[in-house]
Amino acid sequence: MKGPSTKKHLSDPKHTVRATRTAGRQMRSRLLDAASRLFKQSGLAAVSIADIAAAADAFPSQITYYFRTKEALFVEAACRDVLYVARAAEQHAGKQLSPPDYTRALVDSVMGTDAVGFFVEAMTLTRRRQDLAPLVERTVERLHAEGLRAYAAEMAARGWHSRLDPETSARRFWTIAIGVTLEGQAMGRSPDELAAEMLRLLGPQADAAPAAARLSVVRNSARDSASTSKEKQR
């Protein structure tokens, strides 16, 4: 009589698929990190697929597998970078205590990096590579949508009054950031000069609530916290 089945399948197919997808995401991330660094240092023309592969400890064929072309990798790296910077800027600005400080923190965080300049180059590239334009378009819409979400939430939470409707303020911020960067790159302006020009063009964005309104916001926040605490105890 034969003993129990000796060998079951060695691995769960679903587990294998998940592991493959995870490895794929990690490789894409490594390639994007390496490409971003090299493109910012040397520019698109001076960096080869072999250079990026070497920097990422990968094979050139993996770049063409995940991104097809060097130009597509350039655009995706630039889009990813500007979205990362936008998120970090929102987090930094959210720690500020007044509308002017909030605006300055946003501007300094965005203009203090080369991410917007990198993104502007990607936007320019799509003029001759229209197949890459949809990614840039989606990124611009995400900048506006996530900027609107963060800005509207700050206004509501702090009781601040936005001088323009939140959607206009959010779109205006990124339109000015891109325009100032494009002009500044052509004229060789420093990050500090870019930030100063952007602040000048933006002007005041919001006004703090009167003292009575601020007190009401604090009381409402405390009441909400107490209510949440009671519900958890039930």
Question: What does the pLDDT look like over 2-50, one tens digit per residue?
Answer: 454 444 444 555 555 555 678 788 999 999 999 999 999 999 999 999 9
Which residue from 199, 18, 228, 175 is spatially nearest to 107, judged by alpha carbons? 199
Note whether 156 and 51 are same-domain residues: no
**3-class DSSP assignment, residue 176:** helix
Note whether 57 and 141 are same-domain residues: no
**Domain coverage including residue 47:** 22-67
Q: Are 181 and 217 in contact (CB under 8 A)?
A: no
Note whether 147 and 84 are same-domain residues: yes
Note whether 32 and 119 are same-domain residues: no
Among 67, 88, 123, residue at a domain's last position: 67
Note whether 45 and 93 are same-domain residues: no
| In-domain check, residue 234 | no
Note whether 77 and 134 are same-domain residues: yes
Residue where the block lists tokens 């995870």: 22
Segment 49-69 mean pLDDT = 96
What is the value of pTM for the model shown? Answer: 0.80
Write the pLDDT tens digit of every residue in 84-120. 999 999 999 999 999 999 999 999 999 999 999 999 9
The mean pLDDT value of the chain amounts to: 87
Question: How far is C-alpha 107 from the chain's CA centre?
Answer: 14
Segment 119-148 mean pLDDT = 96
Segment 64-87 mean pLDDT = 97
Note whether 58 and 125 are same-domain residues: no
Question: How far is C-alpha 121 from the chain's CA centre?
Answer: 16
| In-domain check, residue 26 | yes
For residue 6, the model assigns a pLDDT of 45
